[in-house]
Structure 1
Amino acid sequence: MAACDARRAPPTRAAVFVVTSDRCPHVLCRLLGLFAQQDRMVERVEAIDTRRTLRVRVQVADIDRQRAAIVAEKMRQLVMVRTVELRSAGDVAELAV
């Protein structure tokens, strides 16, 4: 069994992270790297580059509320990040980014 297939606690939900950041070339790598550090696969990523900011929506399945809150707090600690909203994927059918 590969390390990535290790047993985890049963998933409780999916989460959607909505991030507004400064327009920065490495922000996507840094945001997605936070999920890799937690051994989580990202289901969907959407990014819109406005002339002043980058709006990113990241959807992750199989993540419990506590783990999602930890990732959201780590996102807030990144210098280029302005805001982070954490939502349940069930609450957000289609989110305009």
Structure 2
Amino acid sequence: MPHLEAVTPAPLRHDVWSVGNTHCRSRYQIFAEAEPDLICRVLNLFAMQYLIPRQVSVLQQEGMLMIEVEVDGMTWHRAQVIGEKMRNLINVCTVELEPIGDSYVLSEPVSLAVG
């Protein structure tokens, strides 16, 4: 049996579509129909990019889920791409995305889906 070795974390993944952008912290607010696998599908979008959210909160009320996810270590462009992928998930009604902190200045949140 091989000995266990310490695994070093992977460096931040570069965004080849938006090389000049700095990394920022983003907050997603998702409103969706309550389905047992929806939380896993949302979090999987971050896992596929080797990102671990800083904070996740979920509230179920009257058959709906309100999910809030904070994540950093990606560019604003990548945050928007992930938001669009969330919007395409079945049962997702709306996705709101906003930057947190001083790394990126935006006057108001971006509404990625309204339905």
> TM-score w.r.t. structure 2 length?
0.71
- Check the 8 A contact 2:12/2:73 in 1, yes or no: no
Contact (CA 8 Å) 2:13, 2:49: kept in 1 or not? no
| Residue identity opposite 1:59 in structure 2 | E
- Kept in 1, the 8 Å contact 2:25–2:74? The answer is yes
**1:5 — aligned with what?**
10
* 5+ long unaligned stretches in structure 2: 1-5, 15-20, 103-115
* RCO higher in structure (CA 8 A, sep ≥6): 1
Name the counterpart of 1:95.
Answer: none
- Partner SS, residue 78 of structure 1: coil
Q: Which runs of 4+ in 1 moved over 6 A?
A: none
Q: Which amino acid aligns with 1:51?
A: E
The structure number with the bigger radius of gyration is 2
The reply on whether 1:34 has 2:39 as its aligned counterpart is no
Q: More helix by proportion, 1 or 2?
A: 1
Cα deviations by residue, 1:18-43 (Å, 9 ceiling, x for unpaired): 00000111110000000001111110
- The structure with the largest strand share of the pair is 2
User: Considering only aligned residues, what root-mean-square deviation do their CA atoms show, in Å?
Assistant: 2.2
Length, aligned pairs only: 91
Question: Are 1:75 and 2:86 counterparts?
Answer: yes
